[in-house]
A and B are shown apart, each in its own frame.
Chain A
Amino acid sequence: MVEATLHGDRKVYSVSAFNEGIAVWLRRLPDVWIEGEVTELRRNDAWATMFFTLKDPTTGASLGVTMARRRFDALELHLVDGEKVQVQGRAEVYEVKGELAFRAGAIERLGLGDHLAGIERLKRALAAAGLFAAERKRPLPRLPRAVGVLTGADAAARGDVVMGIRARYPPMHIVVAETRVQGAGAPVRIVATLAALAAHPDVDVVVIARGGGSFEDLLPFSDERVVRAVVACPVPVVSAVGHEQDTPLCDLAADVRASTPSAAARLVVPDAAELGVALERSRAGLERTVRRLLTRDRERLERHVERLRAAPQLLLERRRATLDRAGARLQALSPRATLERGYAIVRLGESAVRDAAAVSTGALVDIELAVGALAARVEETRP
């Protein structure tokens, strides 16, 4: 059916003939299902065909998709950019331009089961890559300079975090960043907002707060881009997303998981009153210690001065005692003590008489006694 002209032995096709040939060949292929994210959706009431681009969220590869506008409208999908869909159809060439597109016959928004299975697969893959490992978890700062809070327009979660922080630590600097947290397109915004918060010079910890919601509402918090952004965040992240039973993947990736936004507030700031009490206790301890040291020094000084004052007296007494002993010894050596015991000293002139032969009968001698002296005449001498 496709006509070629012959130039010698060369078969040559016209452009339209070639495009038609491709089209015919492509029509022989069976229908397939493709999954991807919707972007660049273009639809106009005046057009017979609507267009969008289907994007592979992990590699970024894209494919143009076309669909009859009426058929698309009949599906009432109200698709927006970023939504995950499965599209049934086949490749088709736009013959006028030779452009390849995917002609969709059916579009289905990804079902709950598909999402669950997808999350489960992602969870296993990220866990295997070590993104949820306990040793990756960072400790929260004891007293951050500022707390970053990422929330949706959802007033309740935001209020719970801000009030919780204010109640515990009134002067805390809180940087709130609101962004779209549900629906298609939310993951990209959450990633950008988280990066902006972490880049704030004073923000030392970020709380991601999102109240409860339907499974679909919380899907962005299990998106691989969000999970990876939480892991890569330069400051610790506390995740308070949904209710206890939800466990979106960003809860697993966060450094700390909080069951509620209020619980997150309690985790990121210390209790100012408790801190004050502890500080006061330290100060009292400081004062007590200084006073104790002073008392110790004063007592030691008093002991020293007592000893100092007693020492000269003791020294003199010891000297006096020595002197007394010397005196006593002197005393003991003097003849006086001998006289006390009843001995007497006989003197002839100046010298003591030791030999009877030295004295002649009739000589006058002095006899010295312990008390007093006698003048005596020698009656007789015996050898």
Chain B
Amino acid sequence: VTEAERSFEELQRELEEVVGRLERGDVPVDEAIRLWQRGEELYRRCAAMLEAAAGRVEELAAETRDSGVPGM
């Protein structure tokens, strides 16, 4: 699975791990900065995926509101 193919849930789980490691505070400072960067990147990607999903929900909701139940 390439980075781009990973699901929202997988990315979010990694973000959780990154946050957890940072919060335990037992990482070297250089590593902490690297982890932070990684966390920010994961956040951007998760947020983009959520926005895309929300946009699709709005589209579908508008579509179904216009169509009504067929045959009724």
Interface residues, chain A, with chain B CB atoms under 8 Å away: 171, 272-273, 275-276, 279-280, 283, 287, 290-291, 294, 297-298, 300-301, 304-305, 307-309, 311-312, 314-316, 318-319
Contacts and interface: CB of A to CB of B under 8 A. Distances in A.
A308 B25 contact: no
Q: Which among A272, A305, A318 has the greatest number of chain B C-beta atoms within 10 A?
A: A305
Interface in B50-72: 50, 53-54, 57, 60-61, 64, 69, 71-72
Contacts of A276: 69, 72
Interface of B is mostly: helix
B9 to A, nearest CB: 9
Contact of B23 (A171, A314, A316): A314
A292 B43 CA distance: 20
Interface of B: 8, 12, 15-16, 18-19, 22-23, 25, 27, 29, 32-33, 36, 39-40, 43, 46-47, 50, 53-54, 57, 60-61, 64, 69, 71-72
Contacts of B29: 315-316, 319
Contact of B19 (A290, A311, A318): A311
Contacts of B54: 294, 298
B50 A294 contact: yes
Contacts of A297: 8, 12, 50
A315 B32 contact: yes
A308 B50 contact: no
A231 B47 CA distance: 63
Contacts of A279: 69
> What 4 A-B pairs come out closest when comparing CB atoms?
A311-B22, A308-B39, A276-B72, A305-B43
Given A276-B69, A304-B16, A315-B29, A294 B22 contact: no
Interface of A is mostly: helix
Nearest to B31: A315
Given A301-B46, A315-B25, A315-B29, A308 B18 contact: yes
A312 B22 contact: yes
Contacts of A280: 69
A308 B69 contact: no
Contacts of B71: 171
Contact of A311 (B23, B43, B69): B23
Contacts of A291: 57
Contacts of A314: 23, 25
B8 A315 contact: no
Contacts of A301: 12, 15, 43, 46-47, 50
Given A276-B72, A301-B12, A318-B25, A294 B57 contact: yes
Contact of B32 (A272, A283, A304, A312): A312
A308 B61 contact: no
Contacts of B53: 294
B57 A290 contact: yes
20 contacts: A276-B72, A279-B69, A287-B61, A287-B64, A291-B57, A294-B50, A294-B53, A297-B8, A301-B43, A304-B39, A305-B39, A305-B40, A307-B23, A308-B39, A308-B40, A311-B23, A311-B25, A311-B32, A314-B25, A316-B29
